[in-house]
Structure 1
Amino acid sequence: MRAVRRVAGTLLAASAVLITSACSGTANPDKDADAGTSYKLTKQTPAAAGDIDSFTWSIYGEPSSLDYVYAYDYPPNQILANVCESLLRWNPDLTTSPNLASSFTNPTPTTWVYKIRPGVRFHDGTVLTAKDVVASLRRHMDPAVGSAWENTFRNVKSIDMTGPLEVTVKLTKPDAVFNQEMATSSGTIESAATLAKAGKDYGSPKGGVNCTGPFSFGSWASGQSLTLKKFDGYWNTELKPKAGQVKFVFLSDATTRVNAFQSGEVDGGWMVPADAYDQLGSSTAGKLYYGVNSTVAEEIVSNLKGPLGDTEVRKALLMAIDRKGIVKAGAGGVGEVADSLVTDNMWDQAPPADRKAIIEDVPHYPYDPAKAKEIAEKAGVKGERIVIATSPLDSQTTIVAQAVEQAAKAIGLDPKIETLSPEKYSTLFTDAAARKGVDLFLTFWYTSITDPLDVYGSLETGMFTNYGGWSNKEFDQAVEDAAGTYDPAARAGASAKAQKIALRELPWLPLYTQPTSVFLGNRITGVQPSVAHLYYPWAAEIGAKK
């Protein structure tokens, strides 16, 4: 989702992209009763009563690699979160705290100094040093590597060891997002010796990984499963694993996953299919939980040379989409219509006095097909063809595509749904040639930090993730102003300005948000339901149920 970065935001990377987590910062589940059933967010499931030998976890797709520089989607991230660690940690409550960096300072606007935690060991027993940090971070800047997180480092001038346990990063200009990104895969630390030795095998079933997390890489049976083992030498006593082993099984079919939950074949899984919420919500095999999210389902306008190149037509289309109906039919009534491209909780760092106004002071596009048709008719686009790309990932994806098609017809356009395989759908996020002839495609865009710039920065002119090539100089300046200041009030103001411009011009059409979902079978408990499971060692907290 970010510059090359998030092919995860990709339709859940083509495999579940549409189940994709992208944002469910649903902070007000009862906000709109007409949107569907009410639901409750859970911060913490009951604490584990004790240790457990092992548990099995379902995952919708097999990672293509466990190399952290390519970990830009749900499958690799939810595994690596328990194996590898970053300099900082994104917590389940979406705050950020020190991790492998015991502390950090910002002595000048263009300097970040990280003190590396002493006594931390990699899974092979070697000790973490500043040399490992430098080698790990520099990989993102190597064009030959092709990191999915390269945009994080666009303002980095140098990364150097300035002491046995100290690393200094010099920037070309102030960048308030850089340090926050050290809690994501951008800040993941691997052994320098392992990187050199493994070479191209690093992160593969053959090469594995050698990090510092609570679990170590065990085995990887391609096409079937991946197993992690408890790391007895883990440094963080508060997150010592309660399970001796975690086995991830790759179950791409949504029905198969649900059946595996019901039968007890697997003990749990993230991103429960929305059409199974009712079924699993009343299951005797376990319990379904909802947690905080940072994802928004949105239609990306990928062709600004066609009828959707007219801002008024984009507004008309959004006004004609029955978004409440999508939440009810596609998301099982669990979620709410989105008025923004980011969830409300992304503004938590803004001064409290400004937060409410920022969230509410945005353009609104209420459902009004008749008015939408009038707007489109004035634009003179009647009968013009648009292509809506989709993929048969789950019922939710199909319902969204059909709702958008219906809205396009309602305003006089001639829509065509083009169904792509998950693999081809994924290339829409990575290859401009694949987007040729496509006017709209769906993403569930999640943020990896608690900052609206995680999304709005992706829409700057020339950014890899600016899939439609939208450009607005005023917007670009607002984003740069926000990223270039460390003052919370000034940053919030500039970010809010960027948000208003984006929502006025709608390069992406916000649809809805829904919470993170997780199912826990009767054997296990302890997890904190949150989108932070993509970077936080959630599996370490799971243990035996009373």
Structure 2
Amino acid sequence: MTSPSIRAAAAALLLLSVTACAGSAQRGGGAGRDTLVWASGAAPNSLDIAHGFNGASTTIQMAVLDTMVTLDDRGVPAPALAASWTQPDPASYEFTLREGVKFTDGSALTADDAAYSLRRHLDPAVASQAASYFTTVKKVEAVGADKVRVTLNRPNPAFLAVAAVAWQVVPRKLAEAHPKDLGSPEVGTIGTGPFKVVKFSLTSGTVLERNDAYWGPKPALRRIEIKSITDAETLRMAVRSGEVDGTDGLNARDARKWTGLPGVTTFFYPSNNIAYLTMAVGAGPLKDVHVRWAIAHAVDRAALTNLMTAGHGGPATAMLPRPQLTAVYGDAVPAFPDQPLDLAAAKAELAKSAYPDGFTLSVPYATGGDSATVMQAVAADLAKIGIKIVLEPNPGDKYMARMMAHDRLGIQYVSLTYGTPDPIEVLPDMISRGAAEPQGFNFSGYGSADLDARLDTFASATGEARKTQLTGLLTEIAEQVPYVPLFYTDNAVALSDRFTATFGTWRFNYLTLVRPASGS
């Protein structure tokens, strides 16, 4: 997803002549070695995952708000605020809180805070963007001063993994008082994490300071200053000049521009993401499955993959991130129905539809990011079969708000990154009817009572039954084409040599892992 476009004065930055030695010495604008100046390629909109479930926002949230459990380097659930847990029966968990944990305002973490922090995602009045993660949760309650019991409406092997992403714990009193605007600049948030928020502005950035009362290993950094620079070249020059120390806002396709920057190391590592086209199936030409097949056959996905990943990624063959396919199938991923590039087949499908001579479709997109590049290429491809795409540029913030409101959806480019190795994290976003409501991520509107029931069954399946059910769901998506999977992209981070960190697919709290390099 893209966020507000903030363009800086690139010309001024281009006047800076930086050698490798000078760049290293000047990075961070003269900030201390324990201060990191970080640039995001998109702007955060909320420090509450319920209303800011996007990369720029969750990057900050993960540094400030602890979850009850976390994921280790292999993607396996591990203790966090919960020191331990038991499973009294297949459909319930009982968590025991870690002792002595306090919020950054000095108040003690309670089981009631933890229970409410999960329960609020189930409240329609909150309209949480993370609600689809917890559709199997039936009841959450504090059952003692240090224990939380979660009762599911059926067994769900993925519950711990999704909880590691979205069960962020905040004080109940604060969250209850602000169901709609928790995490906003006016309200802010309070957590138990390694950092605390001292400033959050949608226009001038965010400042975090080390939480010296943190229960876990103390972060090496004292302060993190976060700003948004959404113009790619301006961002690159800001890193080159030393105005900022690092960013995760670079595109893999621009890797060659980044890897040679003086005093900067660029890291690439596998991402749990997928980029795709979504087609709203509820009305108009896109309601016709033959139109959707025609579009899928006409889009040159191989060319898009080469354009957008520059070798740091690969083509998507199904509507799941690659690490999730591997988690279920290993190396034996099935061959799903496909629509390879074939203009003759595309025209034949269009001829079967109610629009044999083509049609015109207005398509909004976000300026200043990948959306513009992809949609321009898609428009050129579709013009070859008589489908005219009229592109409507939107500022990133307006486009994002329109998408999440499900306002006049049609055909859009979407790239989403997920946090767990379990497909049940993704599939409800794609095909559940609940996620087809405003604030949900089912932008196609594709879903049914039958699919909801199959998702419920899949969520509790194990072993070969899980593989069989997943294959059935992915096959239906491939045959009905509410989405066209495009490509996977590696994560990429550029970091000043003054700092070091270890990055990995499941280390999404990476701001807390950055530390000064020895000798810097």
Q: TM-score range by the shorter chain?
A: 0.7 to 0.9
User: CA separation in 1, counterparts of 2:366 and 2:202?
Assistant: 24
1:401 maps onto 2:375 in alignment: yes
Q: Verify: 1:117 aligned to 2:98, yes or no.
A: yes
Q: Structure 2: how far apart are the matches of 1:531 and 1:88?
A: 13
Contact map agreement 2:420 2:506 (CA 8 A) in 1: no
1:480 pairs with 2:456: yes
Matched, 1:453 2:428: no
Q: Go from structure 1 to structure 2 and tell me whether the alpha carbon gap of 1:152 and 1:514 turns closer, same or farther (over 3 Å shift).
A: closer
Q: Quote the residue 1:253 is aligned against.
A: 231
Preserved contact between residue 90 and residue 96 of structure 1 (Cα < 8 Å): yes
Alignment partner, residue 468 of structure 1: 444
Report SS of the residue matched to 1:144: coil
Which residue does 1:327 correspond to in 2?
Answer: 305
Does the residue aligned with 1:429 lie in a helix, a strand or coil?
helix
Contact 1:385/1:414 (8 A) holds in 2? yes
Matched residues in 2 for 1:531 and 1:412: separation?
Answer: 43
Question: CA offsets, 1:263-292, max 9 Å, x none?
Answer: 011000113134532111111130111112
Equivalent position SS for 1:317:
helix
Question: Deviation at 1:456?
Answer: 1.7
Query: What CA deviation, in whole Å up to 9, does each residue of 1:165-186 have, x standing for no partner?
Result: 111112333334433221122x
Other-structure match for 1:543: 516
Indicate the residue corresponding to 1:65 in structure 2. Answer: 46
TM-score by length of 1: 0.82
1:439 to 393, 400, 410: 410
1:277 and 2:258 matched: no
The answer for the alignment partner of 2:340 in structure 1 is 366
Letter in structure 1 aligned against 2:424? L
Distance 1:420 1:225, change over 3 A: closer
Instruction: Please give the alpha-carbon distance, in whole angstroms, between the structure 2 residues aligned to 1:337 and 1:201.
Output: 39
1:231 is the counterpart of 2:211: yes
1:218, CA displacement in angstroms? 2.0
Q: 1:96 to 1:71 in 2, by over 3 A?
A: farther
Q: State the identity as a percent.
A: 25
Give the whole-Å Cα distance in 2 for the aligned partners of 1:414 and 1:196.
48
Greater RCO (CA < 8 Å, at least 6 residues apart): 1
Over 3 Å counting, the alpha-carbon distance change for 1:391 and 1:68 in structure 2 is: closer
How many Å separate the matches in 2 of 1:163 and 1:447? Answer: 33
3-state SS of the aligned residue for 2:447?
coil
- Cα distance change on mapping 1:317 and 1:62 into 2, 3 Å: closer
Alpha-carbon contact 1:384-1:413 (below 8 Å) kept:
yes
Counterpart code for 1:453: I
Q: For residue 2 of structure 2, what is the amino acid of its counterpart?
A: L
The answer to whether the aligner puts 1:266 opposite 2:244 as a matched pair is: yes
**Residue 105 of structure 1 aligns with which residue?**
86
1:329–1:349 CA distance, 2 compared to 1 (3 A): closer
CA offsets, 1:159-218, max 9 Å, x none? 111122111112333334433221122x11123355467787743435432211111222
Q: Who is 1:414 aligned against?
A: 388
Letter in 2 for 1:144: A
Q: CA separation of 1:499/1:388 partners in 2, compared to 1, >3 Å: closer, same or farther? A: same
The answer to whether the 8 Å contact 1:460/1:466 transfers is yes
Asked if structure 2 preserves the Cα contact closer than 8 Å seen for 1:268 and 1:518, the reply is yes
**In the TM superposition, what is the alpha-carbon distance from 1:444 to its structure 2 partner?**
0.2
What SS does the corresponding residue of 1:405 show, helix, strand or coil?
helix
Are 2:240 and 2:261, in contact at CA under 8 Å, matched by a contact in 1? yes
Match status 1:425 vs 2:399 = yes
Distance 1:348 1:104, change over 3 A: farther
One-letter amino acid matched to 2:168: T
| 1:491 match | 466
**What letter corresponds to residue 119 of structure 1 in structure 2?**
G
Closer, same or farther: CA 137–413 of 1 in aligned 2, 3 Å: same
Residue of structure 1 equivalent to 2:145: 164
Distance change >3 Å, CA 159–CA 304, structure 1 → 2:
closer
Q: Give the aligned length.
A: 488
Residue 144 of structure 1: CA displacement?
3.0
Shift of 1:490: 2.4
TM-score by length of 2: 0.86
Matched, 1:12 2:2: yes
Equivalent residue letter for 1:466: N
Look up the SS of the partner of 2:331 in the other structure: helix
Deviations along 1:482-540, whole A, 9 cap, x unmatched? 1133x24322321221111111211111111111111011211114143642xx25423
Residue 128 of structure 1 and its aligned partner are, at CA, apart by 2.2
Unaligned runs of 5+ in 1: 1-10, 17-50
Does the 8 Å CA contact 1:159/1:169 hold for their aligned counterparts? yes
**C-alpha separation in 1, matches of 2:472 and 2:145:** 43
Distance 2:184 2:501 in 1: 30
1:68-118, Cα deviation, whole Å (9 max, x unpaired) = 432301121001111111011134543332211122222223322112122
Q: What is the CA–CA distance in structure 1 between the aligned matches of 2:75 and 2:280, rounded to whole Å? A: 31
Could you give the per-residue CA deviations for residues 371-430 of structure 1, whole angstroms, max 9, x where no partner exists? 322332343522322333322122x33231122112222223233222222233213432
